[in-house]
Chain A
Amino acid sequence: AQSVTQPDIHITVSEGASLELRCNYSYGATPYLFWYVQSPGQGLQLLLKYFSGDTLVQGIKGFEAEFKRSQSSFNLRKPSVHWSDAAEYFCAVGARRTNAGKSTFGDGTTLTVKP
């Protein structure tokens, strides 16, 4: 069965500092990988996705993530955090299949941004 681990429940960074949120997955092969963000009162918004190809993927809002097969990781990064990035972030995996299917999520990481 596939699973996702986000080791950090809560992270605090200063505005303008760099950010890295960790995500490790367990899956029999290379899954599809996603990062979502949830701001208060909002639904989950897809930040970026990895299906295949270049292991460094760019997303919206200046985020990027790198797929490392050897480490079963898909960490999310941003070079300079803005106060509006304060939110909860979820890593998810989907089964590599031709038709759509469920995603498996991690517990989420809450990001606080200090002024």
Chain B
Amino acid sequence: EAGVTQFPSHSVIEKGQTVTLRCDPISGHDNLYWYRRVMGKEIKFLLHFVKESKQDESGMPNNRFLAERTGGTYSTLKVQPAELEDSGVYFCASSRDSGLAGHEQYFGPGTRLTVT
């Protein structure tokens, strides 16, 4: 089966611009997560979807970030307007929605966002 895919792999934008990141989870995985790694620090949780519903968005840094998962399939993460501190690698992960398997997250390769 295909793994988690993310697009684009790298994005360079100027401060104040808008960027939209996309994540396609593994087919059949109801859980979808967004994480971010800034400046080589720890990978931080942003939010968690179960199908199309936001289960936990406690990690979203501010209202410049908007995540959607229409139809419960792929997800987008929009940053508008982008700031310098938004630079980092954005990871998407997905997992099944069944017992302990739900805790096994499969990660995509990440999108490296550079804001200049």
Please determine whether A45 and B100 come into contact, CB atoms closer than 8 angstroms: no
Expressed in whole angstroms, the Cα–Cα distance for A45 and B105 within the complex equals 9
Contact of B100 with A51 in the complex, beta carbons under 8 Å: yes
Given contacts A32-B103, A43-B91, A51-B103, whether A102 and B59 have CB atoms under 8 Å apart is yes
Interface size class of B (residues with CB under 8 A): 20 to 34
Q: Is B45's CB under 8 angstroms from A46's CB? A: no
Question: A43-61: which residues lie under 8 A (CB-CB) from chain B?
Answer: 43-46, 49, 51
Instruction: Tell me the complex Cα distance, A92–B91, Å.
Output: 15
In the complex, A85 has a CB within 8 A of chain B: no
A63 interface residue (CB < 8 Å to B): no
Distance in Å: Cβ of B75 to nearest Cβ of chain A: 15
The answer to the question of A80 belonging to the interface, with a C-beta cut-off of 8 Å to chain B, is no
Q: Is the CB–CB distance between B107 and A105 below 8 Å?
A: no
B105→A103 contact, CB < 8 A: yes
Q: What residues make up the interface of B, taking CB atoms closer than 8 Å to A?
A: 3-4, 31, 33, 35, 40-45, 48, 50, 55-56, 59, 91, 93, 95-97, 99-100, 102-110
Q: A100-B103, A101-B55 are in contact. List 5 more A-B contacts (CB 8 A).
A: A44-B93, A92-B43, A99-B50, A107-B41, A107-B42
**Contacts A/B (CB < 8 Å), 14 sampled:** A32-B100, A42-B109, A43-B108, A43-B110, A49-B103, A99-B102, A100-B50, A101-B48, A101-B55, A101-B103, A102-B45, A105-B35, A107-B40, A108-B40
